């Protein structure tokens, strides 16, 4: 349950914004919200209060806005309650450019939000900000003896909107508050994604109707033709009965029924067990991302190299429907890429390109930082002669904020990609793999760069002959190019 930290009422006047920002930040410090969240909190307060005053209160200064600040381990909550024009301010329905920018900011800064119309009682906007827990605050994973294992039957089905609270309880029973995907702790946020079409789930339900295992079908956009199989967890008392493989097999069937092109997923490379389950279902290794996961991420399985960050193997499962594409491949990586597509049984028109100069056009780059995971992710939409200057700036800023890994994606259908690959290798990037349909519907080439950390190949475990070949190629590329 949330603990109310403080509650305050203010008039609907814009001069209230700045002192309210200070007030919220001081309370956030009391609740041990990290410093890197403070700017986000200030922006959230300004955006929400300003739009409530302008849109719901019509600029009137005699309306009242109540702010309640609450907290529980892992979550900091701002609840804005106000009276004014019903439906005058709706975050999800921007009326102009200012509203649209506000919506984007709130979605980016808050982990989850919801709006509630209470009739004569007013209206409420609740924004939840997920926090990283200290090791002491996390619920430790418990070992389960054979005698403690459940013996009742389970049924496998698609998740339903009313299941979300049970899903969160299952997640907590497995990971406490240490799971990496923040929004999975918020039933309303998951329900919203289910309705939008960016999420679907397959669950195992016990005889009491409780969810005991889950795997998600995730999309960046509802219109995407591929999905990620992720957020897989099984209640420890229902372990050792192959539920992960059963759930994923059902997910693949559902994805095929939806006429998707394929399903991608990741498996930790500190042990082979999840990889073996993927291989048994017909998945193929398509990439290896080094040092992706924090070294201290909790796991039931003991591993060597506990002091090092953990790598992940990327998998792809080809479905019935396909879309043939022309791809431009750097000559240096042609053999490994061609073999990957052969194993996937995918038909592609290969154009092999030797090293060449980047065109004299401006680059178009997107970047995002996962602070909790010390990662920076870069997406190159267009590459020109200024590419390396921009990438260097992004890396310097990211390292200053604590990033130790950079992952980069390129579209394999664009002519600039081979030239960009050769240029990026000169500044320390090296091959990571491919992801069919992963770049705005086209195939993606992935690169990576270690920023001050290292990975020992003996601690990266693969589960097949091809997986080992891919691993050897990635480490060969790392030793050849990674100079950061």
109-126 pLDDT per residue, tens: 665 677 787 778 888 988
pLDDT at 193: 95
The CATH number of domain 3-130 is 3.30.565.10: yes
pLDDT in tens, 267-305: 999 889 889 989 999 999 999 999 998 876 655 455 565
What DSSP designation does 426 have?
A: T
Dihedral sign for Cα 444, 421, 371, 109, please: negative
Neighbouring residues of 238: CB distance < 8 A, sequence distance ≥ 6: 149, 150, 154, 204, 206, 212, 213
The residue count of the chain comes to: 484
Reading the block at residue 351, the tokens are 């154009």
Closest CA to 89 of 61, 40, 124, 64: 124
CA angle 271, 273, 274 (to 5 degrees): 100
Q: Which long-range contacts (CB under 8 A, 24 or more apart) does 360-366 make?
A: 360/384, 360/385, 361/385, 362/386, 363/387, 363/390, 365/390, 365/391, 365/394
> What does DSSP say about strands 348-353 and 325-330: parallel, antiparallel, or unpaired?
parallel
Collect all residues with Cβ–Cβ distance below 8 Å to 298 and sequence separation of at least 6. Answer: 138, 140, 141, 175, 178
Is residue 419 a contact partner of residue 358, using CB atoms and an 8 Å limit?
Answer: yes
Instruction: Report the sign of the C-alpha dihedral through residues 261, 263, 269, 272, in that order.
Output: negative
CA distance 465 to 470: 9
325-481 CATH choice from 3.40.1000, 2.60.40, 3.40.630, 3.40.50? 3.40.630
Residues of the chain above pLDDT 90, percent: 64
Cβ atoms of residues 56 and 123 within 8 Å: yes
Q: Which whole-number Å values give the CA distances from 309 to 292, 315, 404, 460, 477, in the listed order?
A: 7, 20, 10, 10, 19
Assess whether pLDDT exceeds 80 at residue 141: no
Minimal CA–CA distance to 23: which of 47, 3, 53, 46? 46
Residue matched to tokens 């194993």: 343
Give the integer Cα–Cα distance in Å for 283 and 252.
10
140 confidence band (pLDDT: 50, 70, 90): very low
Structure confidence by residue, pLDDT tens digits, 152-187? 999 999 999 999 999 999 999 988 876 767 788 889
* CATH class, range 137-236: alpha beta
pLDDT above 70 for 137: no
| pLDDT above 60: residue 341 | yes
Please indicate whether residue 219 or residue 103 has the higher confidence score (pLDDT): 219
Looking at residue 415, what DSSP letter applies?
A: T
pTM for the structure as a whole: 0.71
Domain boundaries, the chain: 3-130, 137-236, 325-481
Asked if 349 and 327 touch (Cβ cutoff 8 Å), the reply is: yes
* CATH topology match: 137-236 vs 325-481: yes
């Amino acid at each position: 349950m949330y603990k109310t930290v403080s509650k305050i009422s203010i008039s609907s006047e814009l001069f209230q914004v700045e002192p309210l920002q200070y007030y919220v930040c001081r309370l956030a410090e009391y609740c041990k919200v990290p410093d890197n969240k403070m700017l986000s909190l200030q922006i959230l307060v300004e955006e929400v209060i300003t739009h409530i005053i302008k849109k719901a209160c019509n600029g009137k200064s005699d309306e009242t806005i109540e702010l309640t600040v609450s907290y529980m381990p892992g979550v900091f909550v701002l609840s804005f309650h106000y009276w004014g024009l019903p439906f005058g301010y709706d975050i999800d329905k921007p009326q102009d450019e200012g509203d649209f920018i506000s919506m984007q900011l709130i979605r980016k800064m808050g982990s989850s939000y919801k709006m509630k119309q209470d009739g004569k009682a007013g209206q409420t906007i609740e924004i939840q900000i997920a926090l990283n827990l200290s090791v002491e605050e996390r619920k430790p994973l418990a070992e389960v003896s054979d005698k403690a294992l459940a013996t009742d039957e389970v049924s496998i089905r698609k998740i339903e909107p009313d299941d979300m609270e049970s899903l969160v309880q299952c997640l907590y029973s497995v990971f406490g508050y240490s799971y990496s995907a923040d929004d999975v702790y918020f039933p309303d946020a998951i329900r919203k994604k289910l309705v939008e079409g960016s999420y679907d789930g397959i669950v195992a339900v016990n005889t009491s109707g409780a969810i005991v295992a889950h795997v998600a079908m995730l999309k960046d956009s509802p219109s995407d033709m591929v999905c990620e199989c992720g957020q897989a967890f099984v209640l420890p008392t229902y372990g050792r009965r192959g539920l992960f493989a059963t759930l994923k097999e059902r997910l693949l069937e559902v994805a095929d029924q939806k006429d998707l092109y394929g399903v991608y997923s990741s498996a930790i490379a500190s042990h082979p067990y999840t990889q073996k389950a993927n291989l048994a279902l017909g998945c193929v290794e398509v990439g290896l991302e080094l040092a992706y996961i924090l070294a201290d991420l909790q796991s039931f399985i003991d591993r060597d190299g506990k002091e090092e960050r953990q790598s992940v193997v990327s998998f792809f499962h080809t479905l019935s429907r396909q879309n043939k594409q022309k791809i431009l491949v750097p000559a240096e990586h042609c053999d490994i890429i061609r073999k990957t597509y052969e194993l996937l049984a995918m038909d592609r028109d290969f154009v092999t390109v030797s090293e060449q100069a980047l065109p004299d056009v401006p680059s178009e780059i997107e970047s995002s930082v996962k602070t909790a995971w010390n990662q920076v992710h870069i997406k190159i939409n267009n590459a020109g002669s200024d590419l390396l200057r921009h990438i260097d700036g992004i890396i310097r800023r990211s390292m200053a904020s604590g990033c130790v890994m950079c992952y980069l994606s390129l579209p394999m259908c664009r002519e600039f990609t081979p030239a960009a690959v050769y240029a990026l290798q000169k500044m320390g990037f090296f091959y990571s793999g491919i992801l069919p349909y992963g770049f705005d519907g086209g195939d993606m080439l992935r690169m990576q760069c270690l920023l001050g950390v290292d990975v020992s190949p003996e601690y990266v475990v693969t589960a097949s002959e091809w997986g080992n070949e891919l691993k050897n190629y990635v480490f060969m590329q790392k030793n050849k190019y990674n100079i950061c």
